[in-house]
Amino acid sequence: MPGGSPEAYSQLEGMLVQIAAQTPSGPCVTWVGHGSAGHYVKMVHNGIEYAIMQLISEIYSVLKFGSLSNVEIAEIFEEWNEGELKSFLIEITAVVLRKKDEHSDHSLVDLILDKAKQKGTGMWTSQSAMDLNVPIPLIDTAVTMRFLSARKEERVQASSLYNIEHDSPSYSREKLIQLCKQSMLFGMLLSYGQGLDLLNQASANYKYEINISEVIRIWKGGCIIRSGLLDELQEVYTRNMSLKNILLSDNYVDVFTQTRKSVIELINYAMHHGVPVPCISSALNYFDAYRSAELSSNLIQAQRDYFGAHTYERKDMPGTFHSNWEEK
Ligand code: 3PG
């Protein structure tokens, strides 16, 4: 994902093309944009990576709660990896879940301390999105969950304080797996969508001139977030370079409409059992908020005007208004 001087890139291009991963869509390298565009694109790649990893770990926790063994979950991921969810992260998760500990009979994953660390790129993605006012809640949630997971000692203490009874819907194993698959698809598409939204905004703001379709193309091979979903996504952005959000593309209306019901059922199951699925929930709330022609933010505007005279706009007439809210 090199950026910077196009002249420098053209001098290095021959070598970079040869060492890049090769796919049917070409070598996975291109000049991504001016200035710091290369670092920025790689940073957003990692933000998307955090979201997809968190989604997979939530699916794993739901299936584990549903009494599936690590090998059974690995089999499910292997099957998914043959279809539309085919991706590096799904593929390696199956391998991880099958790995035995060399010192015992346990799966190695069961012996790994549940404190996720980080080098910071996901956090930088969230910080930059805040600066640019771009909503990327899946990535934000994934970063937050790494911080929360790191508070192991507090979590252990809290777990002894809250002995909550769980009543619950119960699904057949087949149904649970189906709900997980649909939720994974829903969340993964939105993870890409939110990352690309941020790239679009950053490109305009920092004058990077990023070609989003080319970025998607070079993410198809040799990348942690490579997946089969990127084929259609690249086509969509190639046809419409100025697409503002994946949710505004006709291509995805059916898939989001159809998978939403499964996402709700999965969240319902997880919530009732006390299994946290923050990233999947965040995906659903983002979707429902984004597709809402009316939100409750009119009330926030009224509150801001009440306590700070920050003014508001009206639906029925142009201009900027301030009210004396206590006047009868
Ligand atoms: C990567 O290889 O993508 C990063 O090193 C992963 O970042 P993390 O250490 O912050 O998870």
Q: Whose CA is nearest to atom 11 of ligand 1?
A: 118
Average the pLDDT over 173-192 and give the result.
98
Q: Is 119 in the pocket of ligand 1 (CB under 6 A)?
A: yes
Q: Is 262 in the pocket of ligand 1 (CB under 6 A)?
A: no
Q: Please report where in the chains the tokens 């790994």 appear, as a residue.
A: 112
Using a 10 angstrom Cβ sphere, with 0-12 exposed, 13-18 middle and 19 or more buried, the burial of residue 255 is: middle
Q: Write the single-letter amino acid at 145.
A: M
pLDDT band at 130 (very low <50, low <70, confident <90, very high): very high
pLDDT band at 42 (very low <50, low <70, confident <90, very high): very high
What is the CA(1)–ligand 1 centre distance, in A?
16
271 pLDDT exceeds 90? yes
Please tell me whether residue 132 adopts helix, strand or coil conformation.
Answer: coil
Task: Indicate the top mutation candidate among 88, 119, 146 to test ligand 1's pocket, ranked by most ligand atoms within 8 A of CB.
Answer: 119
Residue 237, CA distances (Å) to 103, 167, 202, 216, 290 in order: 49, 45, 16, 9, 19
Other C-beta atoms closer than 10 Å to the C-beta of 120 total 11
Q: Read off the tokens for 40.
A: 């920025």
Q: Is 168 in the pocket of ligand 1 (CB under 6 A)?
A: no
55-72: per-residue pLDDT in tens?
A: 999 999 999 999 999 999
Q: Which atom of ligand 1 is nearest to the CA of 118?
A: 10
- Which residue, among 286, 279, 288, 285, has the nearest Cα to 61 in the 3D structure? 279
Q: Please give the pLDDT value at position 252.
A: 98
167 pLDDT exceeds 90? no
d(CA 71, CA 312): 57
301 pLDDT exceeds 90? yes
Q: Whose CA is nearest to atom 3 of ligand 1?
A: 46
| Active site members | 42, 49
164 pLDDT exceeds 90? no
Q: Is 118 in the pocket of ligand 1 (CB under 6 A)?
A: yes
Using a 10 angstrom Cβ sphere, with 0-12 exposed, 13-18 middle and 19 or more buried, the burial of residue 242 is: exposed
Q: pTM for the full model? A: 0.97
Q: Which residues of 130-163 are buried (b: 16+ CB within 10 A; e: fewer)?
A: eebebbbbbbbbbbbbbebbeeeeeeeeeeeeee
Q: Which atom of ligand 1 is nearest to the CA of 116?
A: 11
Q: Please give the pLDDT value at position 163.
A: 87
Q: Is 116 in the pocket of ligand 1 (CB under 6 A)?
A: no
- Which residue, among 131, 148, 164, has the nearest Cα to 43 in the 3D structure? 131
| Distant-in-sequence, close-in-space partners of 23: CB < 8 Å, separation ≥ 6 | 220, 221
d(CA 194, CA 153): 33
132-147: per-residue pLDDT in tens?
A: 999 999 999 999 999 9
Using a 10 angstrom Cβ sphere, with 0-12 exposed, 13-18 middle and 19 or more buried, the burial of residue 79 is: middle
